[in-house]
Structure 1
Amino acid sequence: MKRILFPTDFSEVATNAFVHAVELAKKIQGELIVLHSYDLPPMDDQFFPENFTEVYETVELAHFDLFKDELPKLRKIIEEHNFEDIKMTHRLMEGNFVTNIKKAIEEDAIDYLIMGTSGATDWEALFGGSNSGSVILGIDVPMLCVPFGVAHKKIDTIGFVTHYKQQDKIALHKTLDLAKIIHAKVKCLYVKTTTSEVDIEIIKEWEQTFKEQPVEYFMFQSDEIKQVTLDFIAKEKIDVLSMLTYKSGFFEGMFVANYAKKTTEDIKIPILVMHA
């Protein structure tokens, strides 16, 4: 059985992403592991010898109470979607957010990670060393990032961004594996810029390798990568966009706000972050 890790702080952003997690769990007949991670406040017991333990116990109890109060709300969402047969387990972990996610991935043999983002501001934070950004760059399981306000809908088409590198081929295999499970097709996008060039023979080799797979190829020549991608998403009715993290400059350019071009929209579909 596939396992989906869902870290949450019980915010609206996280709860919105939980619906996507539930729907994916149902589609792949998977199990949900809900993780709430919290840090204890830094204190030095030599300055607060009398109430040091009491302060820590109070903080721990507050997070336990939050966890206990919020979990029924998540179960209600499952019931509202008539998915009561989905198995859901819970983890409450003290410590560093990223460290706990990595630990849970290893200990629970996680196959997918699903998290919420709050739009352009949060995407920008991903590349400024935030917790979520550290997660993206530090794990080796597919991670579905769900922008806040994006309602779940059936995934019929997955877009896959490529530069026709060897790492891309590995990630495309992973994307196709998921597509098969959820009965979706894949549309592969290559944006040829003035600084990039791919030999036509490589493209033909890709097409031969994946000829038995439900994948189509699209190539556009432009330096406006984000706008081309937005047009591609709209025209080809892309439900989820899959891409690799190794192209850090490209990935950043897709999501970090370009204040010189305020007319460019944000990408408003879930992003499936792959790791080659």
Structure 2
Amino acid sequence: MKRILFPTDFSEVANNAFVHALELAKTMQGELIVLHSFELPVVDNQFFPENYMVIYESLELAQFDMFKDEIPKLRAIAEERNLDKIKMTHRLMDGDLTFNIKKAIKEDHIDFVVMGTSGASGWESFFLGTNSGNVITDISVPMLCVPHDVPFRKIHTIGFTTRFRPKDKKALKNVLKIARKTNAEIKCLYVKTNESDVDEATVKEWEKEFENDSVTFTIIISNEVKETILDFILQRDIDILTMLTYKKGFFEGLFHSSLTKKIATEYSTPVLAIPIE
């Protein structure tokens, strides 16, 4: 059974992403671990020598009460979509969001993370594009990034950006497992720039290996990578775009973490970011 981590601050952005998390759990026959992470303010105990711990305890209690009050609302959302049979457990953690997500991934043996994203700035919630983007570059499991205003819709077409490397093929096979569960087709895109080094024989090899699957390959010659990907999403009616994040030294290559972060946090298509070492 796949385990899906859903960090939430119980905002509208998060609640929208919660529906996507539920549907992913249904597709993968998995369970949800709901995480609420909060940071207590730094209090200088030289100014509050006597009631220092009381301050922290009251702040923690307030977070716990809020957490306790919001959980039934999530269960109501699940009931509305007839997904209330999905197993759901909860974690309340103090500290840095990314650190807590990484800790939960390790301790709860997480397979996927689902987060809401927003291009807004400021502290509306920790579900901002910057935080989601930071998590993308720091975690070791696939992460589904859900734009704040995108309702869930059945997955018919999955986009997959590739550089035709061996690790890309492994990732594609994993995405194919998801596609089979939803009867979706996969449309692969390779943006061939002036610096591209993929030969025709490699492309033919991939096409041969996946010829019996619902997988097609498109090669577009362009140096405008981001714009080409966005056009591809619109023209091919992509429901979810899969992008690989490479982590070898600084961000490198055609489809690197910074580009994945930008598309995942600024545009209106859910992005499944898969880390590649």
TM-score (norm 2): 0.88
What residue identity is the alignment partner of 2:271? I
C-alpha spacing 1:97/1:163, structure 2 compared with 1 (3 Å): same
1:261 aligns to what? none
Q: Would the aligned equivalents of 1:113 and 1:144 in 2 still touch at CA under 8 Å? A: yes
Q: Would the aligned equivalents of 2:193 and 2:222 in 1 still touch at CA under 8 Å? A: yes
2:171 aligns to what? 171
Q: Which moved more, 1:22-31 or 1:240-249?
A: 240-249
- Residues 1:107 and 2:107 are matched in the alignment: yes
2:116 aligns to what? 116
C-alpha spacing 1:273/1:254, structure 2 compared with 1 (3 Å): closer
- Unmatched 5+ residue regions in structure 2? 123-128
| 1:83 CA displacement | 1.3
1:66-145 equivalence runs, <5 A: 66-119=66-119, 130-145=130-145
Q: Would the aligned equivalents of 1:34 and 1:91 in 2 still touch at CA under 8 Å? A: yes
Q: Would the aligned equivalents of 1:192 and 1:220 in 2 still touch at CA under 8 Å? A: yes
Q: SS of the residue aligned with 2:218?
A: strand
C-alpha spacing 1:73/1:38, structure 2 compared with 1 (3 Å): same
Q: Would the aligned equivalents of 1:159 and 1:240 in 2 still touch at CA under 8 Å? A: yes
C-alpha spacing 1:158/1:7, structure 2 compared with 1 (3 Å): same
Q: Would the aligned equivalents of 1:159 and 1:242 in 2 still touch at CA under 8 Å? A: yes
2:37 aligns to what? 37
Matches of 2:140 and 2:110 in 1, distance apart? 10
Q: Which moved more, 1:31-40 or 1:164-173?
A: 164-173
- Unmatched 5+ residue regions in structure 1? 123-128, 258-265
2:197 aligns to what? 197
2:125 aligns to what? none
| 1:45 CA displacement | 2.5
- Residues 1:55 and 2:55 are matched in the alignment: yes
1:182 aligns to what? 182
| 1:62 CA displacement | 1.0
Q: SS of the residue aligned with 1:10?
A: coil
Matches of 1:69 and 1:6 in 2, distance apart? 17
Provide the aligned C-alpha RMSD in A. 2.2
2:244 aligns to what? 244
1:262 aligns to what? none
Q: Would the aligned equivalents of 2:133 and 2:261 in 1 still touch at CA under 8 Å? A: no
| 1:254 CA displacement | 6.0
Q: Would the aligned equivalents of 2:8 and 2:35 in 1 still touch at CA under 8 Å? A: yes
Write out per-residue CA displacement over residues 150-202 of structure 1, whole angstroms, 9 at most, x where no aligned residue. 11100111100011122322221221122222322111001111222311111
Q: Would the aligned equivalents of 2:40 and 2:94 in 1 still touch at CA under 8 Å? A: yes
Identity rate, percent: 57
What residue identity is the alignment partner of 2:5? L
Matches of 1:239 and 1:2 in 2, distance apart? 22
TM-score (norm 1): 0.88
May I ask how many residue pairs the two structures share in their alignment?
263
2:12 aligns to what? 12
2:24 aligns to what? 24
Matches of 1:80 and 1:131 in 2, distance apart? 29
Q: Would the aligned equivalents of 2:136 and 2:261 in 1 still touch at CA under 8 Å? A: no
| 1:149 CA displacement | 0.1
1:226 aligns to what? 226
